[in-house]
Amino acid sequence: MAAQVLAILIEAVLVFGAVYTLVDYVRHRDAARFDIMLVFVSLATLIVAQEVAAARQMPAGVVRAIGTFAVLPQPWLLLRLVRHFRRVPRSLELAAITGLIVSVLIIGLAPISRPPVWTAFVVAYVVLVSGYATWAFVHGARTRVGVTRWRLRILASGSGALALAFIVSGLGAMAPALRPATTPIVSICLLAVLGSYGVGFVPPRLLRAAWLLPELQRFLQEEAECPPGERGTWMNLLLCQMAVRSVGGVAAVVAIAEPGGGRLVVRGTAGAGMMVESLDLDEGVAARAWAAGEPAFEADARRFGRMEGLLAAGTGAEALLAVPVASRDSRWGVLVVCLRRGLLFAADDMALLKIFSAQAANALDYAALVAEHETAAEELRRTAGQLEEANRELEAFSYSVSHDLRAPLRHVAGFAGLLRKADGEQLSGAGQRYLTTIVEATDRMGKLIEALLAFSRTGRSEMTWRRVALADLVPGIRLELDGAGGERCAWTVQPLPEVHGDAMLIRVALFNLVSNAVKYSRDQAQPAIEIGCRGTAGADGLVAIYVRDNGAGFDMRYAEKLFGVFQRLHAESEFEGTGIGLATVRRIVTRHGGRVWAEGAVGQGATFWIALPAVRPAEAAQAS
């Protein structure tokens, strides 16, 4: 019962295979598909004949004759399949055709009773041709991988089973006493042949995926071993090597398109023979694959491009397979594989190489992105170095200028004071005003210079990192500002966090913010100042502290100017100052890796924010 079910299943697979290969040939019209269709159609004819015979009670001799004529061409058809991927000796082709014709005549003229020598000739024809096909399939499987390797292995077993079936059948024909023993063996062999054909020529989709998976894993594993700095070159070489191994090619090249050019420049090679430096984009197989974005196969040397002709001649190839190296976002070039003969299962080979090429294109995308980032990083490092050098020179210049200006200013102020004491009574009212103006100007200039020196020191001083409790700094700052209007303010101090940084610099920044708030709110009937923080540290590790007042405020359109050196939004006659305090705040906070910003409105007060690290930054810890 099980044998009958198996036989029915195999017959159904062969009939399906005949229909499938016939439709496949009609759609694609190539020689390999035509020969595969002939194999299935001839065997399907036998199955149909058996079913018709069973329904109409045809004579057994007729059915046997149909079966014989359906099976006898199989060795010759297998030889035709071998010709698609390797060269078959001319003498063997002639012997196979002669053996087929003679075998058909022998079976046709003496279907039942024939001399043993005739039977031996038929068996010799089948064994010789099927044996060569078996060897060719096995050898072809050794030079290929993935789906094609497994299909060739299975076909090798099927052709070997066909030869064994004829050997055993011939023994039974020459020695009738052995037929009870040989008949089951022949049936098993024929079932093996039919099953091998079904799986080998029309493998199920899941089976194809299972055969393909190990090759993809190997490709990805070798890709993972690629050195990051050599990813592009490595992937071109790996793709060539895998292509040669996958389809049994003699050589392969990867040619990358030149930006804005009309050619493909060879960037990777594998295999033996003469290689070329470039391929044309206006002719040949590579040009067709590049233009269509799909694999292209060509076995007619007259349709090769000029450089492809040189490539084929130098490698001894008779056919070329071109596969675009392209990802979803970019097209890089074309993989060209040189083939000694051609492809039996072109669709599977193209599908495998298309996957490899797409993965290589993704790797090239990644390599280009890394190179772009490295270039940008190098440019950024160079710019940062230039900025750092410029800042050092600027700080040195400002320190030198500020330091050198103090001496002449002291002279001007001193001599103006002496002039007032010595000749004060002889000076007119206008002269007295002039002297007063000189003294006040030199005093203001002196304060600006001191502010500049202090500003310069905030950028050059060495930072000592430690935890700083902001709540401990506020009382001292309030006490220091009592004589500057702080005693009139209504103070609101919220719970303040600890931050990490230089305690002295952080106190300078906080003092400047609070003193700024006291100064600009002094004209209010009841000045109010609030100091607090916003929740916990954010994703960037910074905690935000604010100082809010109900003073003069500012126009938000000019908020960015607040933290610049000598930038003022109010006249000095309204509020005194040097215009360096907020610039100092920004420099200190920036050195801590933080941020500063401000919010306000004219006549409605202002809020100044500083964001400082809640924990010590890693780069600062490494530097120390």
pLDDT at site 334: 93
Alpha carbon distance 184, 623 (integer Å): 85
Please, what is the angle between helix 231-247 and helix 146-174, to 10°?
10
On the question of pLDDT at 623 being above 60, the answer is no
Sheet holding 606-613, edge to edge: 490-493, 528-534, 542-549, 606-613, 595-600
pLDDT at site 32: 87
Domains of the chain plus CATH, in order, are 2-203 (1.20.1070), 213-460 (3.30.450.40), 462-623 (3.30.565.10)
* pLDDT per residue as tens digits for the range 305-353: 889 899 988 888 989 999 999 988 888 999 999 998 888 888 888 888 8
* pTM assigned to the model: 0.60
* pLDDT per residue as tens digits for the range 505-531: 888 888 888 888 888 888 788 889 999
Q: Mean pLDDT of all residues in the chain?
A: 81
Alpha carbon distance 246, 273 (integer Å): 19
On the question of pLDDT at 394 being above 90, the answer is no
SS3 235: helix
Which of 9-23, 125-139, 603-617 has the highest mean predicted lDDT (pLDDT)?
125-139
On the question of pLDDT at 417 being above 90, the answer is no
pLDDT at site 445: 66
Which of 184-188, 297-301, 559-563 has the highest mean predicted lDDT (pLDDT)?
297-301
pLDDT at site 582: 81
Residue 559: CA count within 13 A, CB half-sphere:
14
* pLDDT per residue as tens digits for the range 189-224: 878 888 888 888 888 888 888 888 888 888 888 877
Alpha carbon distance 553, 158 (integer Å): 93
The strand pair at 490-493 and 528-534 is best described as parallel
Q: What is the DSSP letter of 273?
A: S
Burial-class residue 381 by CB neighbours within 10 Å (0-12, 13-18, 19+): exposed
Token code pair at residue 146? 């993935």
Mean pLDDT of 552-572: 67
pLDDT at site 622: 47
Please, what is the angle between helix 306-315 and helix 284-292, to 10°?
120
pLDDT at site 424: 53
**Higher confidence at residue 568 or residue 311?**
311
Nearest of 2, 46, 6 to residue 191 by alpha carbon: 6
pLDDT at site 620: 47
Mean pLDDT of 4-29: 80
* pLDDT per residue as tens digits for the range 277-294: 888 888 899 999 998 989
Mean pLDDT of 151-172: 87
Pick from 345-354, 450-459, 604-613: least confident: 450-459
pLDDT at site 336: 93
Mean pLDDT of 448-476: 75
